[in-house]
Chain A
Amino acid sequence: MAPEVGHYALILALLISATQAVVPFVGARLRDPALMAFGDQAALAQFAFIGISFVCLTYAFVTSDFSVEVVAANSHTAKPLLYKISGVWGNHEGSMLLWVLILSLFGAAIAIFGGNLPDTLRANVFAVHGMVGFGFLAFIAFTSNPFARLHPAPDDGNGLNPILQDPGLAIHPPFLYLGYVGFSMAFSFSVAALIDGKVDACWARWVRPWVLAAWCFLTIGIALGSAWAYYTLGWGGWWFWDPVENASFMPWLAGTALLHSALVVERRNSLVSWTILLGILTFSLSLIGTFLVRSGVLTSVHAFAQDPARGVFILGLLVLTTGGALSLYAFRMPGLKYGAPFAPVSRESGLTLNNMLLSAAAATVFLGTFYPLIVDLIGNDKISVGPAYYNLTFVPIMVPLLLMMAVGPTLKWKRDDLRAILARLRRPAVASAVVAILVLMFTLGRDFGAAAFMGVAVWLIAGSLAVLAHRLRLGSVALATSLSLARTMPRAFYGLVIAHAGMGLTVAGITGMTAWATEKIAMTRPGESLHLSGFDLQFKSIGNVPGPNYQAERGVFDVVRNGRLVARLISERRFYPVRQQQTTSSGISTNLISNVYVTLGEPDGKGAWAVRFYYHPLVPWIWLGALMMALGGLVSLSDRRLRVGVPQRLQRHAIAVPAE
């Protein structure tokens, strides 16, 4: 019964999205408030019905209803509840349903929080959002129905790929999708502005919080994914430049650029045309990411749904949405004249440079991701692009960007003085040089690259603190004045300081991992020890333990340093009988500055096991830094300036009522 209800709700949502795509648009043309107001109702109804549909599918998973094909193919009665639920989006059909659920959530958010938007802009935003929703609902309904039944129903299901049975990965897709799909707001607002023919500071003030929210979720999502890869794949890699990772990283880079350029539109009404383009491109990159994962044009460790028919459909959607939006852009944008002038040394120029570098970085990743396809099309070679490419291209673009990140926030709008800027940056420069020299001394002058990058990391952190000190006038006025300045300082500014410092932390983590990680792999018998970077790893014991839906061989290890026990680590080799698959669970101990990491490998059949022992200094900072960036975004979101105008909502309804 529940699957039929879900299916029916899905079809209703499809029909509602079709009306949402048309009615508000016509309303905006005719300036008819009743037709325009239809957008609100449609968006809310669409969210409600997709919500019902999603709940029904979740119910089928939780109750192990194997007459539903997706459940039979991806679930199993002997699976813990958490993975029954995460199984909903651990497959193609369910993950697409989650995708549209989040899309409609954002649509509903415009209906609820968008009260003070200009009426025609709002109607057009609903219409564009409805079109995107219609495309994807049609995709689900026609090519990937999650409610298809199986007859006869099997006694038990196929189980979920054990490598996906992990708490981190269970919540990774929702965050990633909140990010990906959140950028649909930027897209809808950009296209609506093009239709409306008007882009102003008010528009930017409206778009920015949505972009910021999406960006925060995406940042967390990417960090979760990377942490998952680190602890499940069993050898401590944290980023692989895998096509699926790149698919989430490209929208992140473009979204970061968009956040900053929208700032220029909001404050100075400049870079308007560029910001609109970025709004379209950021969401398009999310769509391309979906295409990459779903079509199977690139093989990847992560890709799990590969079907050319779906690829064709998603490509069609991509062509319609992105192609349509870009054509509109080509057609409408030249008519819109904007751009307040600014001096070569100013906040605007800094942000323009930031945008150029971020776009170049995104383009580099794009090229690296698609190069194998290009080569494949031209010749008949299959190649894959590895980290060497990104080290040569992506890193050199990021270096000036990172250096600029500390400079930018110190710049004044309109015009600034180079000498004054240099004076403001003296302290971070000294701090960064001191750290770089210290690192060189400690590594006996060998690690020049590591020293340079640690210098960059300190430059970012000290630079962010210096901007804060400068704005609070610490040292130049009485402490009480500084404190009162600190209280009245907009939260968005604190957000900036936290996020930029977080990036510094991430850079330090990456540098530590790249330069100083050590490892030892050896056949080891219980009772024997491995020695690495001052740590002794004692292989205590090994035994068989049963898990909820697997059999595990569990190795117990003690990590000892200078005679003191640092941690007891447990690593397991798990065998999942349902999928006949083997996974490894690593033992990791962290003190937030470094990790010790052990993986139990294959036995040699003569009483020894391949044991991999790693020491990863600074690696937790990679993810702590990413979380700090997201936190900075959230702090900035709580700024009241982003919520201004809320009281105007009543007024809008007052106007709308007499017309009804």
Chain B
Amino acid sequence: MQRLVFLAPVLLFAAVSTGLGLSLRNDPRKMPSTLIDKAMPAFVLASLDDDSGAFSSEDLKGKVALLNVFASWCGGCRVEHPTLMGLANAAIVPIYGVNWKDKPGDGARWLRASKSPYVRVGGDHNGRLGIDLGVTGVPETFVIDQTGRIRYRHAGPITGEVWRDTFAPLLAELGVKR
């Protein structure tokens, strides 16, 4: 009995380290989306720049596009902003924006101040579309193919490296010429 007491710490530690070992296998950033290869959920969002009407899932039909979820308060979005601007300027693939859980006005103000890479931007101020898309944080980017299916979800900022290693090959597969 007495010996068991002294054995307890090492047994407890064995359990902890097994858990740590198992958790090494999953990268929190590479969480698979349950939406992969499913159709993009239908949505209608108020456009952030008030003059161009609503932004809806109809706008994404029939082409390969990126849907980028961002917020003015998010640091990672600032990190990926130059990459997105570069893509937009080179017209490689149309980028659509969802301004997620932002105060009305803040998102538009941010885009005005730092230039918008988006073809159209919708405001998802209460995060309703975010729930449909399973968004866990910003920035997140979805690749949508010609048939309107979600092909890939990326959590975290798109850096030049991420673009080169992940997005570019996938888009080439989908027939986007760079």
Contacts and interface: CB of A to CB of B under 8 A. Distances in A.
Please determine whether chains A and B interact with each other in the same assembly.
yes
B76 to A, nearest CB: 10
Interface of A: 273, 277, 280-281, 284, 288, 291, 295-299, 306, 308, 311-312, 315, 318-319, 322-323, 326-327, 329-330, 333-334, 370, 373-374, 376-377, 382, 580-582, 602-605
A350 B97 CA distance: 60
B24 interface: yes
Contacts of A602: 72, 109-110, 113
Contacts of B20: 288, 291, 297, 315, 318, 373
B10 A318 contact: no
A297 B23 contact: yes
B19 A377 contact: yes
23 contacts: A273-B6, A277-B9, A280-B9, A296-B27, A297-B24, A308-B25, A312-B24, A315-B21, A319-B17, A323-B10, A323-B13, A323-B14, A330-B7, A370-B19, A373-B20, A376-B23, A376-B28, A377-B23, A602-B72, A602-B109, A603-B113, A604-B113, A605-B113
B27 A308 contact: yes
A29 to B, nearest CB: 24
The majority secondary structure among interface residues of chain B is: helix
B14 to A, nearest CB: 7
A262 B3 CA distance: 23
A480 to B, nearest CB: 53
Contacts of B79: 580-581
Contacts of B112: 604-605
Nearest to A297: B23
**Residue from B6, B29, B79 whose CB has the most chain A CB atoms within 10 Å:** B6
A606 to B, nearest CB: 9
B87 to A, nearest CB: 14
Contacts of B42: none
B130 interface: no
B136 interface: yes
Nearest to A308: B24
A298 B27 CA distance: 8
Given A318-B17, A330-B3, A382 B28 contact: yes
A288 B31 CA distance: 24
A322 B19 contact: no
**Residue from B3, B23, B29, B72 whose CB has the most chain A CB atoms within 10 Å:** B23
A73 B94 CA distance: 32
A417 B75 CA distance: 59
A315 B78 contact: no
Contacts of B17: 315, 318-319, 322-323
Contacts of A299: 28-29
B10 A326 contact: yes
A295 B10 contact: no
Nearest to B34: A380
Given A323-B14, A605-B113, A334 B6 contact: yes
Contact of A322 (B3, B13, B25, B72): B13
Given A318-B17, A382-B136, A329 B10 contact: yes
Nearest to B17: A319
Closest A-B pairs by Cβ, 3 of them: A326-B10, A330-B7, A373-B23
Interface string B17-55: 101111111111101000000000000000000000000
B2 interface: yes
A225 to B, nearest CB: 19
A295 B26 CA distance: 11
Nearest to A582: B78
Nearest to B26: A376
Contacts of A326: 9-10, 13
Nearest to A280: B9
Nearest to A373: B23
B106 to A, nearest CB: 8
Contact of A330 (B9, B25, B109, B113): B9
A318 B21 CA distance: 11
A581 B114 CA distance: 13
Contact of A334 (B2, B27, B113): B2
Contacts of B29: 299
A298 B7 CA distance: 29
A280 B12 CA distance: 14
A334 B3 contact: yes
Given A311-B24, A334-B3, 15 more contacts: A273-B6, A281-B9, A296-B27, A296-B28, A297-B28, A299-B29, A318-B17, A323-B17, A326-B13, A330-B6, A333-B6, A376-B26, A377-B22, A377-B23, A605-B113
A605 B9 CA distance: 60
A376 B24 CA distance: 11
Interface string B72-114: 1000001100100000000000000000000000000110110
**Residue from B20, B22, B72 whose CB has the most chain A CB atoms within 10 Å:** B20
**Residue from B7, B72, B110, B136 whose CB has the most chain A CB atoms within 10 Å:** B7
A308 B23 CA distance: 10
A150 to B, nearest CB: 16
Contact of B19 (A312, A373, A382): A373
Contacts of B2: 334
Contacts of A330: 3, 6-7, 9-10
A291 B14 CA distance: 16
A353 to B, nearest CB: 20
Nearest to A277: B9
Contacts of B82: 580
Contacts of A318: 17, 20
Contacts of A322: 13, 17
Nearest to A291: B20
Given A327-B10, A330-B10, A582-B78, A295 B110 contact: no
Nearest to B159: A580
Contacts of A297: 20, 23-24, 28
Interface in B125-144: 136
Contacts of A603: 113
Contacts of A327: 10
Nearest to B112: A605
B6 A315 contact: no
Contacts of B27: 296, 306, 308
B168 to A, nearest CB: 20
